[in-house]
Amino acid sequence: MTGLATPVGLGSTLVDGSTLVDLGLYPEIQRFGARDISACFSCGTCTASCPLSQTDSTFPRRMIRYAQVGMKDALLASKELWSCYQCAECAETCPTHAEPSEFMAAARRYAIASYDKTRIARTMYTQPVAATVLAVVVALFFALFMYSAHGPQSGESLAIFEFIPEHLIHDIGIVVMIIVFLAGLAGVGGMARRIARREGVGWSTVFGGRAALTRSAHAAWEAIGRDSLGQVRFRQECAADDVPVALPRRRWLLHALTMWGFLGLLAATLLDYGLAIVGIKETGAPVPIWYPVRLLGTVAGLMLVYGTTVMIIDRYRTANRSVKRSTTADWMLLGLLWVTGVTGFALELALYLPSAPAWGYWVFLLHVAVAMELVLLAPFMKLSHAVYRPVALFFVALAQAPREGDP
């Protein structure tokens, strides 16, 4: 039951004894990029056109309704928010131009900012100038901090770990990982708690007995294996473009290449570190191109650079309806990923040149500083969807999995 007490102004929380209503919710989501959803009259056309709505006759308009009436808790506990791949099929058919796909994207930004108690994510999404300054300051901090401990620049070979000590990079990396883990856990844990409460999912639902474990394993496979890593729904159901697009430019492929490229580079970095720990290969020691870790890094770097380059071009040219509007957060993520990939390749080139070019040392410093920044800011920027989405999709898959006793 929902009822409103006397309004006391936008942004207030009004209580009628059963439902919390936040009249500031809609204008707040507009700050995150939503268009004029007051035009939406819940006609359902977007539901009919959405390729992902077959099993939910209220998707995505229910989310818009929550925002219109101020049901903040319901919105933040909606697992369906993360089902949307922003194909913008719904925006094409909306009779009132309420831009439901833009709303879904803005609502996800709003949700990330709401789960993050540090308010850094809110700044990153709603204050473009402050977000840009923060990004520059963080990169400069890492670069200057590492440079403060720098050693000589050998001219005979590119001795990057004599220039910036390897142990310093590892120590900073460990601190960054701990911060990211704690911040990420707080945010994702907050979202999971909200969804679980709303869905009536408890520990026993997930882990209580063999049948529950089987359902949970199936849901995890659907969410992480098929949807997130395999991009199956993105590829099969949400790949419609307004004009036919050649395979190398398709959204799902660019997204998959970027994601796999990023994960591959992360894996190559960790493997390189691991090989040094067990004494197989010193970090940074020259190895042939076919050496497995180097090969992994090279292939992953190519995927990342290709994916981000084409995505940047497509956004710049607004090549399809899903990139009709871009936010600072979109550009920042693509920019940081692109710089990380390109500087990685430039560094590899410098490492294998016969002489040691002086620029190689500065590219190395830039590469490490930007990579550190990318990881440190991950919980507060768009990259965090890489964790929020699979967790929410786990609940989606869990709700769809048959329970014991179901016909």
- Alpha-carbon distance of 265 to 366, in angstroms, equals 16
Q: Measured at the alpha carbon of residue 403, what is the angle toward residues 401 and 406, in degrees to the nearest 5?
A: 110
Candidate list 21, 67, 77, 98; residue touching ligand SF4; CB under 6 A: 98
Q: Spell out, one character per residue from 238 to 267, where the chain touches ligand SF4: x when CB under 6 A holds, - when not.
A: x-----------------------------
Nearer to ligand SF4, 150 or 235 (CB): 235
Per CB under 6 A, does 87 bind ligand SF4? Answer: yes
Candidate list 52, 310, 350, 391; residue touching ligand SF4; CB under 6 A: 52
Per CB under 6 A, does 372 bind ligand SF4? Answer: no
Nearer to ligand SF4, 34 or 381 (CB): 34
One-letter amino acid for residue 104 of the chain: M
Per CB under 6 A, does 227 bind ligand SF4? Answer: no
Size of site (CB under 6 A) for ligand SF4: 27
Per CB under 6 A, does 86 bind ligand SF4? Answer: yes
CB of 47 to ligand SF4, least distance (A): 7
| Selected range binding ligand SF4 among 93-101, 120-128, 329-337, 379-387, rule: CB under 6 A | 93-101
Per CB under 6 A, does 79 bind ligand SF4? Answer: no
CB of 12 to ligand SF4, least distance (A): 26
Candidate list 25, 77, 88, 253; residue touching ligand SF4; CB under 6 A: 88
Nearer to ligand SF4, 45 or 309 (CB): 45
Per CB under 6 A, does 100 bind ligand SF4? Answer: yes
Nearer to ligand SF4, 108 or 122 (CB): 108
Per CB under 6 A, does 50 bind ligand SF4? Answer: yes
Nearer to ligand SF4, 162 or 241 (CB): 241
Nearer to ligand SF4, 35 or 198 (CB): 35
Nearer to ligand SF4, 60 or 360 (CB): 60
- Alpha-carbon distance of 274 to 280, in angstroms, equals 9
CB of 115 to ligand SF4, least distance (A): 20
Per CB under 6 A, does 96 bind ligand SF4? Answer: yes
Nearer to ligand SF4, 104 or 383 (CB): 104
Beta carbons of 272 and 285 less than 8 angstroms apart:
no
Closest to 102 measured CA to CA, from 23, 28, 36: 36
Closest to 142 measured CA to CA, from 176, 177, 178, 181: 176
CB of 94 to ligand SF4, least distance (A): 3
CB of 318 to ligand SF4, least distance (A): 16
Q: Spell out, one character per residue from 26 to 45, where the chain touches ligand SF4: x when CB under 6 A holds, - when not.
A: --------------xxxxxx
Nearer to ligand SF4, 375 or 396 (CB): 396
Residues that bind ligand SF4 (CB under 6 A): 40-46, 50, 52, 60-61, 64, 84-90, 94-96, 98, 100-101, 104, 238
